[in-house]
Structure 1
Amino acid sequence: MSKIPVIVIVGPTAVGKTSLSIELAKKLDGEIISGDSMQVYRGLDIGTAKITPEEMDGIKHYLIDVTEPSAPFTAAKFQAETRKWIEAIHGAGKLPIIVGGTGLYIQSVFYDYDFGNSSEDKTYRAELERLDNTVLWQMLEQKDPESAAQIHENNKRRVIRALEVMHLTGKPFSEYQVHNELNATYKPLFLGLDLDRELLYERINQRVNLMFEQGLVLEAKQLYDQNLADVPAIRGIGYKELFPYFEGRSSLEEAKELIQKNSRHFAKRQLTWFRNRMDIDWIQAGTSTTETEAMNKVTTFLSAK
């Protein structure tokens, strides 16, 4: 059986992945699977820069708004769901396109991941449970920077599991998870969008300003008022920075500046991870030739035997 071709568009937040993916999907009769670990959650719209129905422009999207924030959506779940949709889209005669910035999730689709199913050390786990999120994440960053770049500080369950696996196996969690051979079912083309760092940071700052204009504070307050502030999904960038403001411990301007700062740092970690962990064909974003260059690469890829 021939391999299923899949176009994968990755890159840091605010670099322009969404608009490029829509244009490619229109020209290539494609459908899009979101490769974003946050956009699966209902109610997290503005803070995750979730694509709107208007922006979709008639292109069908998958893995957006599929679960509640209180229900964890793991990398293993993403792998299974994405593989299912790839085959369904291909079976319908259309081109599967994955778009997003969650490298660990996207990589898991095309490589046979081992999701840390080794044995447990309950005593060691209990010791870790007593530590706060920041201390745990710093431990992970020291032992395995690649995993720390992909696991959010407030995803305590995942951080602890990574530390536990390394404790049991004696090797980095990032090495334990992924096998080097591509899954034989798929033929992926990994396209990465890059942008001058200053321009990217300017875009990120502007995006956060727009989020505030669109009603981010109200969205975050509604989640906060539902007592969801401790749910890992809600502790993501764009929400957690506003909680001190709701509690009278910071100003709104301080919260905005912190969201911008954390988003810039996140973009830097994304770029580092993609460059170190995946074989990506990079394209300069934000130019008059970006879409043409991407189309040429995809056309060549699809026509190759």
Structure 2
Amino acid sequence: MRQQPVIAVVGPTAAGKSDLAVDLALRLGGECVNADSMQLYRGMDIGTAKLTPAEQRGVPHHLLDIWDVTVTASAAEYQRLARKLFATIDVPVLVGGSGLYVRAAIDDLEFPGTDPEIRARLESELAETGTAPLHERLRELDPAAAAAILPSNGRRIVRALEVIEHSGRPFSATMPSYEGGVPSVQIGLEVPRPELDERIALRVTRMWQAGLVEEVRGLLGQGLAEGRTASRALGYAQVIKFLDGEWSQERAVEETVRATRRFARRQESWFRRDPRVVWLPYDAPDLLERSLTLIAGHGRT
């Protein structure tokens, strides 16, 4: 059984998580384990801000580029892969903003079975009526799950209702407490909202300048549009609308910024609920040293 805790660097997009994770890995002799669900996809580099080999600075990075864009993301499969890696890495540094994947990696998260017929029926209903009636149904069946899932998150609402109907158990029963699981030290990077909004706008602009449209065009040739998960990724979904002629480039950029800011708020809300996360200012001049002190306080020397 693992003696040392997993180090997790979490927080909203554009907060600088990847750079801090590399700094920690270099100081501690660690290796990075990706917890960004979209960086699992091969070829999705610019739009996910995937570190280049030079930016990785020689630190081994795991669980990058493991799925084709046609593969539907699976948190259960990710959990299996992450746990397997933790057993082989002396100092694993988990890094990413996909809250469900972070919890899957370090917590005893249960993944109930699926029922394609139930899911198809619920997805059809979602397309026809929108999220509001389904979220209200979820509130009646499982108030705790409804409180934890945004009324606008149709995918998660459908999944919760599917689990309830398929298993006969509340969906909230599959979510573990914040106790138990893999021992971890979780460091959250805190960015004031106005600054975060500016950083997101700048990041999106730079992505488009760096060739995001060309990246998406190439991935469409690999089946991106058919991928249930990858095609919905921030930036990629908006570029697809641009390439389809549905949106102008200006609108696609604006919509990407807007959607990313909303996503960042959801990330913050998710991680703020976890009492184990210790928040540090993203721009603290002694950020690395403060992070190392936190880690040392959990049994490291």
Alpha-carbon spacing, 1:247–1:209, altered in 2? closer, same or farther (3 Å): same
Q: Is the 8 A contact 1:9 1:190 kept in 2?
A: yes
**Equivalent residue runs for 1:179-198 within 5 Å:** 179-183=177-181, 186-198=182-194
Q: Is the 8 A contact 2:79 2:105 kept in 1?
A: yes
Q: Deviations over 1:98-150 (max 9, x none)?
A: 001011111122221221238x594x54531423559565556554253449x
CA drift of 1:245 comes to 1.5
CA drift of 1:268 comes to 0.1
Q: Find the counterpart in structure 2 of residue 131 from structure 1.
A: 125
Q: Find the counterpart in structure 2 of residue 105 from structure 1.
A: 101
CA drift of 1:162 comes to 2.0
Q: 1: CA distance between counterparts of 2:249 and 2:295? A: 44
Q: Find the counterpart in structure 2 of residue 235 from structure 1.
A: 232
Q: 1: CA distance between counterparts of 2:48 and 2:300? A: 35
Q: Is the 8 A contact 1:8 1:188 kept in 2?
A: yes
Q: Match for 2:244 among 229, 243, 247?
A: 247
CA drift of 1:17 comes to 0.4
Q: Find the counterpart in structure 2 of residue 62 from structure 1.
A: 62
Q: Find the counterpart in structure 2 of residue 22 from structure 1.
A: 22
Structure 2 unaligned segments of length 5 or more: list them. 139-145
Q: Is the 8 A contact 2:4 2:300 kept in 1?
A: no
Task: Tell whether 2:162 aligns with 1:164.
Answer: yes
CA drift of 1:225 comes to 4.3
Structure 1 unaligned segments of length 5 or more: list them. none
Deviates more, 1:254-263 or 1:1-10: 1-10
The count of corresponding residues between Structure 1 and Structure 2 is 292
Q: 1: CA distance between counterparts of 2:214 and 2:247? A: 16
Q: Is the 8 A contact 1:137 1:148 kept in 2?
A: no
Alpha-carbon spacing, 1:164–1:59, altered in 2? closer, same or farther (3 Å): same
Q: 2: CA distance between counterparts of 1:3 and 1:198? A: 40
Alpha-carbon spacing, 1:8–1:126, altered in 2? closer, same or farther (3 Å): closer
Task: Tell whether 2:178 aligns with 1:177.
Answer: no
Q: 1: CA distance between counterparts of 2:218 and 2:45? A: 12
Q: Is the 8 A contact 2:189 2:281 kept in 1?
A: yes
Q: Is the 8 A contact 1:8 1:99 kept in 2?
A: yes
Task: Tell whether 2:199 aligns with 1:203.
Answer: yes
CA drift of 1:298 comes to 1.6
CA drift of 1:259 comes to 0.2
RMSD: 2.6
Alpha-carbon spacing, 1:140–1:220, altered in 2? closer, same or farther (3 Å): farther
Query: Normalising by structure 1, what TM-score?
Result: 0.86
